[in-house]
Amino acid sequence: MAAASPLALAQASFSGENSTASQQADQVYLEADVVEQRNGEGVYIARGSVRMVSGERIIQADEIIYNTATGRVTARGDVRIYEGDQPAQFADEVLLDDAMSEGVAYGFATLLENNGRAAAASALRRPDGSVEMADAYYTACELCEDGGAPTWRLRADRVVRDLDGDMIYYRDVRLEVAGVPVIYSPVFAHADPSAERKSGFLLPRVDISNRLGLTYQQPYLFAISPSQDLVVAPR
């Protein structure tokens, strides 16, 4: 059917069992230029300026296929996902459950707090909110308008963003400067950009002087309490 107005669709559980109470408590709101329904299959296909809402989560795409029998959502084309006040997430294609809390994305990119940016060939989102990315990178630099490599970035085969621990973990990571790898490590981790204060290494300082020659200073922050910290900076 062609839809010029939004549709309100009751969520289906993965087991296929529904109750009137659950339908009223959990709703999927879907609007688009055109919505088609496959009779007898419980499948809705929405195309053109598609917007799907479930609780605080909003997904926008060129096309969304919603299967009420399996509770699966497939979004394709300029996919954007918003959740509360968290930064937006982008992808070429996304497969989700109907609560939009678990799924996989291809051609994934996201903005992070404190000007952070991450992108990956694929990303797996778990129900606890953590995200595991493959062939991914992270940077806090502004991206070049011509699509070139940022000033620096951490590129890894596998990246896990742990929201509960406020940490980002890397496997087989390279530090790239202007697109050229300069340092490699099999494992690496740093605080999530959303963390307010967390113990860890700060940016190092490299200097050259006539008195000391070449020096390297590596500060480390100890977050002792919400009102106390200690910075140790051996050189």
Mean pLDDT, the chain, as a whole number?
Answer: 82
User: Looking at the predicted structure, is the pLDDT value of residue 91 above 90?
Assistant: yes
Q: In the chain, which residue ranges form alpha helices assigned H by DSSP? A: 20-25
Write the pLDDT tens digit of every residue in 94-144. Answer: 998 866 678 899 999 988 776 788 899 999 988 877 889 999 988 887 765
Q: What is the mean pLDDT of residues 33-45?
A: 84
Residues 6+ apart with CB under 8 A from 218: 201, 204, 233, 234, 235
Using CA atoms, how far apart are residues 74 and 120, in angstroms rounded to an integer? 19
Of the candidates 90, 84, 81, 52, the one whose C-alpha atom is nearest the C-alpha of residue 68 is 52
Write the pLDDT tens digit of every residue in 192-235. Answer: 877 878 888 888 888 999 998 999 999 999 999 889 999 999 99
User: Looking at the predicted structure, is the pLDDT value of residue 40 above 70?
Assistant: yes
pLDDT of 63: 94
Q: Which of 46-50, 111-115, 169-173 is the least confident region? A: 111-115
